[in-house]
Every structure is written in structure tokens, then in C-alpha cells.
Amino acid sequence: MGKKLLVLLLALALCLGMFTGAYAEEGEKVKVILQYGYPQDEDAESAWNVFNDYIKPQVEAKFPDYEIEWFRWTIGSDYRQQYDQLLLAGAEPTLAITFPYVDIQTRIANGTIADITEFVENWDLKKEGKVTEIYDNALSSADGRWFAVPGQPYVSGLVYNKQVIEEAGLDPDIEMPASWTEFAEMAQSITDKGIPRFGYLLLGSEWNAWTYTPWVWAAGGEMVRPNGDGTWAIGFNEDAGVDAAMFMNELMWKYNACQTNVLESYDDMQNNFKSGLAAFTWNSPAGFSEDDLAKYDQSQANLGIFPLPAKDEGGRIVGFAGGEVWTMSPNATDAQRAASWEILNFLSYDATYLEGLWEKENEQGRLSATPSARTDLTELKFSKASNWPAHWAEEFANVSAVALPEPYCPNWNELKNEIVIPLQTIYLTEGITREEAQKLLDDCAELLYSTYPASFQKPQG
């Protein structure tokens, strides 16, 4: 009887080992494939300096008992698709700070990220109110389960280049435009395609819904509206959405103020801005490092940021708030999830690590103007910014004060994917009528209602 009991206990132990992911062998290190901070080969030297001199050695010294494999996405294809393909192959990152918070509701529904409720519910920093809560509803399910935590919040607006404005013969210290008409006329006066020099770099590629959204807000509208029953009504085909799309068309054709290829990639658009090709674009000035700009004889001192102007003077001016969050693979073992939780807390919430990181980033001209996910450390972060131009602090504060968070409804990404072609058609069609633009957006809304009825429903009444 004793022998049978021993066999049963051994079998139970093996099963528990399989399900908890403890160790395949005694003393074997827990492996974590980590997507965080690893630069691309063509990235600036400063990015590599931050990674090689600080991030990598700090993490590996802190966690010598874990086998950490550093991971980065392949340039040229959507990271979401890459993640899903790797997930099918069992080669996805264990821990990633890649998905924007707006992705999480969809990924909860399709089961492509892990449930991390046990960690969040026992998280002292959150109990102490030190973790930003702006995205909480987007990171948890209706029944209170958690699937992500904040990692890298950000705020964006219209970035300007004083040098380009001055080269166009305008005073670079004038007030920024207060209405769409003022913005368009200023962009038009700056544009000279013979040089070439453009007023505004318009994003028309596959990310166009991202930059279209705040223009809809600035027109007084919404991309989507909650119905109050867990479903959402489409708003982008209302008057404000049509106004925003038609304004982009006017920037292209009426004012002739945009680059020739508005379907260029986001990366190409940003590189063109770094080179001084345009006066205005969409981003945050701290996203352009000093050494990157120096390659083009540009400087952070020439850059600044302001909110999107309202459609009409005195109307709604807006900034845009978003952010990437930490997620874990649904295939991670218990041991890998526990290790991942320790690592993400170190990288986004450890005060000593973060202070050193911000000092290093400031030294390299790479300190971003984004708040910390740990709310009590944002002031500390900004205090490290000895290399920021003097005007940035006030401008960042102005954009942050009017920033609205990106919607996070289920199938939000599918909505953004579906609207790409209609927006491109509107932007690129010279002479398109408002009625034609309205129909394109109406057809897109109807497609979303019929394809995703669990997410999008027309409001009753």
C-alpha cells in the first residue's frame, strides 16, 4: 500500500510540475523572452547606448537566475500580425510591452494574452494608488479579471519645426493656429514643392485612423459612443467625422499643403520630418532624439508641440493620450508568469532603476516627454530633463491638459483597419464631394455593424 501511495504521489508531483511550469529539471533557469527596449540595427547610436550601457546590464544583473532572451519585432510588417503568427508557432515573447491599451479588450476575447489577475489583485503599488488608472477599464474584463497593466503612457499633438517656419519667411514665434482655417492657410503659405518644403505631413497609410481620430474630436465628434449595454455606436460617419475627412482632403487639394506621397509609411514620414521637409507633423517632439536630428542639421531646440486646433476658433482643442501596456503570453507557465511579473515591475515601477534610466536617456538626448506609469515618479522623471528646450515643459503641459484617451471598445482595431481604405479614398480623390465622402464612411459603419454585432450596435430610438 505504501508503494502504491508513493507512486501516486510521484505522479501527482509530475503533473503539478507540468501545470505550474516549475522546472523541467532541478536548477534549470526559467526562460523569459522579453520584448522591451531592444533597438533595431538602424536605430541611432544613442538608442544602442541606452540599451547596451544601462537597460541590458541592469536587467541581467537584477535577474541572474532567469534566462532572458531579448526580442524585437521585424520592421516592415504589423507587430500584431507578427505576434499572432509567433503565437501559433509557440515562439511569441513571454513578456511584451507592445500592445496599446486599446488592443486589450479584443485580445481578452480571443485569448491571445494571459490572465494575470492573481498578480494585480495583490499588487501593493496599485493598492497605494501609485499606478496610473486611466486605462483600467480597458485592461480588465467585465467580471473583474486582469490581462494587462500600464507600461508606457504617452501624449501626442501637432509637432512644429521653427526652422522650417522661419525658412518659409514667417515669424517662428507667432501664436500657433487657433482654427482649422488658420492652420491650413499657414501650412499653405509654408509649402513650396519645388524645394521641396511642406506645411503638413499627412499620414494616409495603414495607421491613418490613429491621426484621423483627434481631428474628429476637434470637430466636436467621437469615433464611437457607448450604448450603455456593452455595445458601441459608430460615430465617425456623423458630421464631425465627415468634416475631419474632408479637411484632410482640402489640405491635400485645396491648400496643396501636404507631401506628394501621403501613403508613405509612418517611419518614412517621421524621417522626412527629421530632415526638415515640413513645418508640422503628428508626434511628440521628444520622439525625435538629438543625435537623429543632428544627421539632418536639425535640433530639438527648433521643435515644439501644440494641441490640434478646434474646427472653429473657440471650439474644442485636443491632444491625444495613449500608451503601451505589459502583457504575458497565454502559453507562459506559472513560473514564467511569476518571473515576468517581477521583471515588468522592475522595468516600469522600480524607482531606482527608473531614475537611472531617465538619467541615461537624458544624457543621450532620448528622454521622452511621457508621464511615468508610476504616478508618483512623473515629477522625478521630468526633473531629469536638463537637455530639453526651455519651451517644452509648458507646451507638454498644454497638450496634456486637453488630451483625450484613445477609444478602447472591443474590435477597435478592426474598426481602424476597415476605415483605412475609405479614408485613403477621401484623402486622395481630388474634387470628391461631401456626399461621396459621407457614403464611404456610412458604408464602412454599416460593414462594422454587420460584421461585429456583439461590439457595434446602432443606438435604439
Mean pLDDT of 170-182: 89
Mean pLDDT of 34-43: 94
CA 313 to chain CA centroid, Å, is 29
3-state secondary structure of 68: strand
pTM of the model: 0.77
313 and 275 co-located in one domain = yes
Q: Output the domain CATH number for residue 335.
A: 3.40.190.10
In a domain, 85, yes or no: yes
171 and 261 co-located in one domain = yes
**81-95, 214-228, 276-290: least confident range:** 276-290
Report pLDDT for 349. 98
Inter-CA distances, 123 with 44, 113, 382, Å: 36, 19, 25
Look at the alpha carbons of 255, 257, 260, 264 in this order and tell me if their dihedral is positive or negative: negative
Q: Is it the case that residue 7 has pLDDT exceeding 50?
A: no
Mean pLDDT of 181-198: 96
In a domain, 414, yes or no: yes
124 and 159 co-located in one domain = no
Mean pLDDT of 309-313: 93
Q: Average pLDDT of the chain?
A: 90
In a domain, 22, yes or no: no
Report pLDDT for 2. 38
DSSP characters over 429-447: -TT--HHHHHHHHHHHHHH
Q: Examine the fold and report which residue of 401, 423, 438 is the final residue of a domain before the chain moves on.
A: 401
In a domain, 141, yes or no: yes
CA distance 419 to 417: 6
**224-228, 268-272, 279-283, 387-391: least confident range:** 387-391
Beta bridge partners of 234: 224
The x, y and z cell numbers of residue 426, run together, are: 477621401
140 and 188 co-located in one domain = no
The x, y and z cell numbers of residue 416, run together, are: 481602424
CB of 355 within 8 A of CB of 384? yes
The x, y and z cell numbers of residue 336, run together, are: 514564467
311 and 433 co-located in one domain = yes
In a domain, 284, yes or no: yes
Query: Which structural domain, as residue segments, surrounds residue 144?
Result: 27-153+322-401
54 and 179 co-located in one domain = no
For 424-445, the pLDDT digits (tens) are 999 999 999 999 999 999 999 9
200 and 306 co-located in one domain = yes
Q: Is it the case that residue 100 has pLDDT exceeding 50?
A: yes
Domain count, the chain: 2
pLDDT tier for residue 14 given thresholds of 50, 70 and 90: very low
105 and 147 co-located in one domain = yes
174 and 306 co-located in one domain = yes
In a domain, 353, yes or no: yes
Beta bridge partners of 279: none
77 and 164 co-located in one domain = no
Look at the alpha carbons of 261, 262, 264, 268 in this order and tell me if their dihedral is positive or negative: positive
pLDDT tier for residue 27 given thresholds of 50, 70 and 90: low
Mean pLDDT of 67-93: 93
276 and 298 co-located in one domain = yes
Q: How many CB atoms lie within 10 A of CB 423?
A: 26
Report pLDDT for 69. 98
Three-class DSSP labels, 321-332: EEEEEEEECCCC
Q: Is it the case that residue 15 has pLDDT exceeding 90?
A: no
Mean pLDDT of 48-62: 98
175 and 93 co-located in one domain = no
More confident residue, 93 or 283: 93
CB of 43 within 8 A of CB of 289? no
Let me know how long the chain is: 461
Those residues with Cβ within 8 angstroms of residue 161's Cβ, 6 or more apart along the chain or in another chain: 273, 276, 278, 279, 280, 298, 302, 303
In a domain, 13, yes or no: no
In a domain, 438, yes or no: yes
Instruction: Give the amino acid at 161.
Output: N
CA distance 19 to 27: 18
